[in-house]
Structures are given as structure tokens and as C-alpha cells.
Amino acid sequence: MTPFNQGWYLATFAVAMRVHRGHQGTRKEPHWSFLQRCAQTLVRQFPDATRAQVQAVLLHEVLADALIPANQLRGHGIDDDTRRILHAITPPDRTQPFKHVQTVADSEDVDAMRVMLAVNLTGMAEHGGIRYELACQLLSCRLMKDHA
């Protein structure tokens, strides 16, 4: 059963849509559509993706972009496991995104690696670029090596 028709998915997607209202992606479409494609990539790559992983991929930018303060995530129905993943994938310094990908890959946090891989695979498919390709290679290798 896919998560896309589950109540928790629809509620989380509604939060993503609300906080990204008015944001436009590079395809000149609402940014939330990119987030939806990230969730689809996650589930396609990892059919056993957890609820927390799916919620985190939908909300992967909310902390970095300060769209929802960390202390208010629970009020949006976001549980502890999802919040832990969001904190793990949020870079402390947005000027060095690949450095943070390396940190997550070294952390052995499978949840965070899966979410970051889904985001970067989607970004690579839509935008191209070495940044996405390197991130995907690093995360894929780490997931296959340590967590096959």
C-alpha cells in the first residue's frame, strides 16, 4: 500500500503546501509539486519507506528556510521520529551543502540518508548538475555498503 492516500500523508502534504504557498520552483510551478515528486522518488527507491521518512522528505526545507520554527513542528502533527530526521538533514550552514551531505553519510542515520538521497535524486533528474550527482553517489554507496 502506498502512503499517498493515507490521512497522515495528506495532512503532511497540506502543511507543505501551506508553508510553501507562493513559492515557485524552477519549472515555474508551485514548489510543493517538487516536494511531492521527492516523496514519490523516496517510495519508488525504498518501498519500505517509513512514515517519518515520507513526512521528512515532504518537509525537508521547513527548518532550513525557517518556514516552521522547530518548536512548533509538533503542533503540525509531526512526530518525534520525523523531527529527528528533519534536524539531521538540515544543514547548519547552507553555503556548504555537500559538506552536510558528507556529514549525514558519515552519521549512519539510514533515515536521513534515504531522505537526502530522494531529494538529491529528484533534484538531479530535474536540474542536473554535479552537486546532485555527487550527493547521490555518496549517499547510494554508503547505503549499499553499510545498510544493504
d(CA 55, CA 20): 15
Q: Note the pLDDT tens digit of each residue in 50-96.
A: 999 999 999 998 887 777 888 888 888 899 999 999 999 998 887 78
Taking residue 59's Cβ as centre, other Cβ atoms within 10 Å add up to: 27
pTM for the whole thing? 0.90
Nearest to 68 by CA among 10, 23, 16: 16
Checking if the pLDDT of 33 tops 60, the result is: yes
17: cell is: 503546501
Checking if the pLDDT of 32 tops 80, the result is: yes
d(CA 127, CA 125): 6
Checking if the pLDDT of 27 tops 80, the result is: no
Predicted pLDDT at 10:
93
Predicted pLDDT at 71:
84
Please, what's the b/e burial string for 101-126 (b: 16 or more CB within 10 A of its CB; e: otherwise)? bbbbbeeebebbbbbbbbbbbbbbee
